């Protein structure tokens, strides 16, 4: 009798465990697959200098599949990056704690080389970094002009992805997405 009861309890616990793991996997996949839809429908209470679309797309790039936007490809080997026409890449950075995302150019301007824009974990512009061709010193600029340049380049890749790849989820978990991400952008 006790043995039978113990088997039933173990069976019930096993079923609950499998259901909990399955639910966790489904929720995670749903939030990642439909992240573009969720970020577009997130309440607009976030700080104006943040870039939720950029952050969420780069965090979930591996779940978005292949890019359907002409001239833009996703590079998910190593850190996630979005490459535009082999001119520049917008990707996850690993420079230090304050820099989470980097927009880097493959070729410099006529008087600059190693050009990069740095962003923090919420997508806020941190600084522009470059090296002059005639010197070895690294130069940093935090001007409004550089901030606007950075946003223009980010918009060049993010806006077409959002327009092309926004899919409405079958099961809408917007409330859970908001709970997961909203504090990051305030």
Residue 110: predicted pLDDT:
62
Flag whether 7 is in a domain: no
Structure tokens at 171: 């099961």
Which DSSP string do the residues of 119-140 spell out, in sequence order?
Answer: E-TTS-EEEEEEEETT---EEE
Flag whether 120 is in a domain: yes
- Residue written as token pair 């946003």: 151
Flag whether 116 is in a domain: yes
Q: Which residues of the chain have pLDDT under 70?
A: 95-97, 108-112, 134-136
Kindly report, residue by residue over 108-142, the tens digit of the pLDDT: 666 667 789 999 989 999 999 888 776 667 788 89
- d(CA 83, CA 108) in angstroms, rounded, equals 16
Give the range of the structural domain holding residue 81, as residue numbers without chain letter.
34-185
Q: How many domains does the chain have?
A: 1
Residue 108: predicted pLDDT:
62
Q: Angle at CA 164, nearest 5°, toward 100 and 154?
A: 30
Flag whether 14 is in a domain: no
**Phi, psi angle pair for 71, to nearest 5°:** 85, 0
Kindly report, residue by residue over 57-71, the tens digit of the pLDDT: 999 999 988 888 999
Taking the model in full, what pTM does it have? Answer: 0.85
Flag whether 8 is in a domain: no
């Amino acid at each position: 009798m006790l043995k039978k009861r113990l088997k039933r309890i173990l069976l019930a616990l096993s079923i609950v465990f499998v259901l909990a793991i399955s639910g966790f996997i489904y929720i995670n996949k749903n939030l990642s697959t439909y992240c573009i839809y969720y970020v577009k429908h997130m309440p607009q209470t976030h700080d104006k200098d943040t870039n939720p679309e950029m952050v969420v797309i780069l965090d979930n790039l591996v779940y978005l599949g292949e890019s359907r936007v002409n001239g833009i490809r996703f590079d998910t080997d190593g850190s996630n990056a979005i490459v535009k026409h082999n001119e520049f890449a917008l990707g996850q950075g690993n420079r230090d704690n304050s820099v989470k995302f980097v927009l880097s150019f493959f070729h410099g301007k006529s008087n600059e080389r190693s050009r990069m824009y740095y962003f923090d974990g919420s997508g806020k512009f941190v600084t522009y970094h470059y090296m002059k061709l005639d010197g070895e010193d690294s130069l940093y600029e935090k001007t409004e002009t550089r901030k606007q340049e950075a946003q223009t380049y980010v918009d060049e890749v993010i806006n077409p992805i959002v327009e092309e790849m926004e899919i409405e989820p079958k099961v809408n978990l917007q409330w859970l997405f908001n709970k997961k991400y909203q504090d990051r952008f305030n």
